[in-house]
Structure 1
Amino acid sequence: MTDWLVGLMETLGAPGAGLAIALENLFPPLPSEVILPMAGFTASQGDMDLLDVLVCTTLGSVVGALALYWVGALLGRERTLAIAAKLPLVKVSDIEKTEAWFQRHGRMTVFFGRMIPIFRSLISVPAGVERMPLPMFTLLTTAGSLIWNTAFVLAGYFLGENWELVEGYVGIGTNVVIGLVVLAVVVFVVVRLSEKRKGRHAARR
């Protein structure tokens, strides 16, 4: 992956870094924690302009997020509810509660979500489903992405050849997020199975 990123940046320059970040939004296995520090390191070597890198990577983040926004918008609320109704252990009321929560806190969720591993990409889909006003979504996505991208690009810029240290530290945070998500899923499944068992016992009585 590192060789591919180097080749992309050598061929396209800062727009190559932006393209990589746009793809990272669509394919999370491409980690921004690698792309951004490497772009910063490349800029520190004089091969790319630092400002161009920040502009292009942020533009790439917005383009990728908009693509996922429209996936959510095309999927729509009714299809989402229909899919949820067919999923085991999931109630339509779960989706409706999530919808209500997003309507209350959607703006901050989109903004801060751009700075949380894993959720960086996923948050665009519910924003599309809920049809958050596109100008507001674009503004919040741009602001959150600019903060995230600037932090990692500058880290790579100042760390120089040690830019890979960034990936190691962020990897710890990513694992923590994954652990919390897995824990939340386990708790959800346990609670839902318990509710089903209680419902069966009540029905037998």
Structure 2
Amino acid sequence: MNTQTIMTLIDQYGYLAIICLIALENIFPPIPSEVILTFTGFLTLTSNLTIWGAIIAATFGSLLGAILLYGIGRLISVERLSRFVATRIGRLLHLKQTDIKRASTFFNRRGGLAIFYGRFVPVVRSLISIPAGMAEYPFWSFVTLSTLGTLIWNTVLINAGCLAGTHWKTVMGWFEEASMLILIVSLFIVALLIVIYYIKKKRID
């Protein structure tokens, strides 16, 4: 979905478009929330949209998408993933049931931080809901953390778009660059943690 289409939908359908687009953005990461939110902020200056109305609509849409992906994670479940690990494909990938259970236990202990901070990282803000569901992370805790993280993100971008006015595209570009930098740093940290984990595991074995 291109930028012009996003702008047209929000301009014509207001809050409903914001809810639907942000929900889709959570399910399909290639749809850029930076465009949706900063343009929405600009529209609060030229339409009947209000800043708080837009923030609430965007947060509600994000939560809808997150809950859907959480539900998909629950359908996959750790048990089903463990059964997959036991198959030939799982063995070829060198996956072990103990690794799956350990990851699930870790997520339930530390997953809250991943859920909250993941809302500020592109792609991760969508995908983090699936392991949360798989690990059966407490639903209402998931909803609360997702809402808080998303609320902050939406508030910052919508207000930035509003303050920038006709220069909202410039602000959007800044946020896109910052988001990409955050994603690269996050991937580097995850890769480093995986390497450290396997080094420690080999020493123990």
Question: When the two structures are superposed, what TM-score results if normalisation uses the length of structure 2?
Answer: 0.83
Give the aligned partner of residue 68 of structure 1: 69
Q: For the residues of structure 2 that align with 1:166 and 1:95, how far apart are their CA atoms?
A: 41
Q: Distance in 1 between matches of 2:110 and 2:191?
A: 21
Which letter does structure 1 place at the counterpart of 2:151? L
Query: Is it true that 1:4 corresponds to 2:9 in the alignment?
Result: no
The offset of 1:84, in angstroms, is 4.7
Query: Which of 110, 113, 124 is the matching residue for 2:118?
Result: 113
Q: Please tell me whether the aligned partners of residues 7 and 36 of structure 2 are also in contact (alpha carbons under 8 angstroms).
A: no
Quick one: structure 1 residues 101 and 187, their matched pair in 2 at CA, closer, same or farther if it must change by over 3 Å?
closer
Whether contact under 8 Å (2:78, 2:100) holds in the other structure is no
**Which of residues 117, 139, 145 is equivalent to 2:144?**
139
| Matched-pair contact (CA < 8 Å) for 2:122–2:180 | no
Equivalences for 1:82-93 in 2 at 5 Å? 82-84=83-85, 86=90, 88-93=93-98
Q: 1:89-137 CA deviation, whole Å, 9 max, x = no partner? A: 5444433332222111122221222122221111111111122222221
Structure possessing the higher radius of gyration over alpha carbons: 1
Query: More displaced, 58-67 or 93-102?
Result: 93-102
- Which range moved further: 49-58 or 101-110? 101-110
Q: Distance in 2 between matches of 1:94 and 1:164?
A: 45
Q: Is the 8 A contact 2:21 2:61 kept in 1?
A: yes
Q: What is the percent sequence identity of the aligned residues?
A: 35
Determine if contact 2:29/2:122 at 8 Å carries over to the other structure: no
Q: The residue matched to 2:133 in structure 1 has which SS?
A: helix
* Counterpart Cα distance in 2 of 1:179 and 1:146: 23
Structure 2: runs of 5 or more not aligned: none
1:162 paired with 2:163, answer no
- Aligned-residue Cα RMSD (Å) equals 2.7
Gaps of at least 5 residues in structure 1 are 197-205
The amino acid that maps onto 1:144 is G
Q: Distance in 1 between matches of 2:156 and 2:164?
A: 12
Q: How far apart are the structure 2 equivalents of 1:45 and 1:104?
A: 46
In structure 2, the partner of 1:104 is: 109
Q: How does 1:42-53 map to 2 (within 5 A)?
A: 42-53=43-54
Question: How far apart are the structure 2 equivalents of 1:48 and 1:25?
Answer: 22
In 2, are the aligned partners of 1:44 and 1:158 still within 8 Å (CA)?
Answer: no
1:39, distance to aligned residue in structure 2 (A): 0.6
- Structure 1 length-normalised TM: 0.83
- For the 8 Å contact 2:120–2:149, the answer to whether it is kept is yes
Aligned partner of 1:94 in structure 2 is 99
**Deviations, residues 30-82 of structure 1 (Å, cap 9, x unaligned):** 01111110111111223422221111100000000000000001111112233
Check the 8 A contact 1:77/1:130 in 2, yes or no.
yes
